[in-house]
Amino acid sequence: MDLRSSVELNNGLAIPWVGFGVFQVPPGEVTYRSVIMALEAGYRHVDTASIYGNEKSVGEAIRASGVPREELFITTKVWNDDQGYEKTLKAFEASRARLGLDRIDLYLIHWPMPSRGLFKDTYRALEKLYRDGLVRSIGVSNFLVHHLEELLKTAEVKPVINQVEFHPLLFQPKLLDFCRRNDIRLEAWSPLTRGRFLDHTVIRGIAERLGKTSAQVLLRWDLQHEVVTLPRSTKENHIKENARIFDFELSDEDMKALNSLDEGRRIGPNPDVFAG
């Protein structure tokens, strides 16, 4: 396996196991250079969102990189303020224009916002975009089991991805199991805990024993749970370091030790209450 290794989604489309995230990466030169460095390092999967404000910079980097479009997998997301059927269709066109792409590989609902009751209408818009051939796959982000259960009651196209906060401190085994049983691939945002737990005794201990970094251990943990993972960095050495996760394996004991760290501890908002 390497950065171009992929897994087949429930609609037959292949997504690279490891992507490059650009959350909180400033638009302009920082995003542009970060994406260029990631593509030069071998990444072929880039994840952005309208709320990040850097779609234009991502698109510019993609075009400047010289990497053929057919080798790339590009994800973006509809933000909370743009939910609803018609607003989502307009928001998608704005994202597509900023990225400068004819088609998006994956379009996600960024948050369920259950209090507003709009995610079913929003998803209907995603289904239209999918049927019209403007997106190659559709899915959701930050959906908990009960949100997915509600969506699946009316969805005509099953979501291929549920992108959620996922790391040993927030393992979410019930959500992982639900997605597996329903052929929805789980994808991890903030897999490196935004750096907050890289010095955790258990994580650091495993890393030192294996001669790896804590970041590499966390990303490998994702892969061994068959979870697509989205590390982020603006530093070239870390971008390359995060890619070196295919030359080792975590033992069953290591996996159990990391799983046992689960405290339900969120870095980001609770999807049941967050409305943006």
Instruction: Give me the catalytic one of 32, 43, 52, 107.
Output: 52
Dist CA 243 CA 95 (whole Å): 28
Using an 8 Å Cβ cutoff, are 165 and 267 in contact? Answer: yes
32 annotated active-site:
no
Dist CA 222 CA 241 (whole Å): 16
Using an 8 Å Cβ cutoff, are 105 and 83 in contact? Answer: no
Using an 8 Å Cβ cutoff, are 138 and 159 in contact? Answer: yes
Adjacent-strand bridge partners of 140: 109, 162
Task: Report which of 86, 99, 90, 4 is spatially closest to residue 43, judged by C-alpha positions.
Answer: 4
- Record the tokens describing residue 159, joined without a space: 């979501």
Q: How does 84-115 read in b/e, with b if 16+ C-beta sit within 10 Å?
A: beebbbebbeebbebbebeebbbbbbbbbbbe
Catalytic annotation, residues: 52
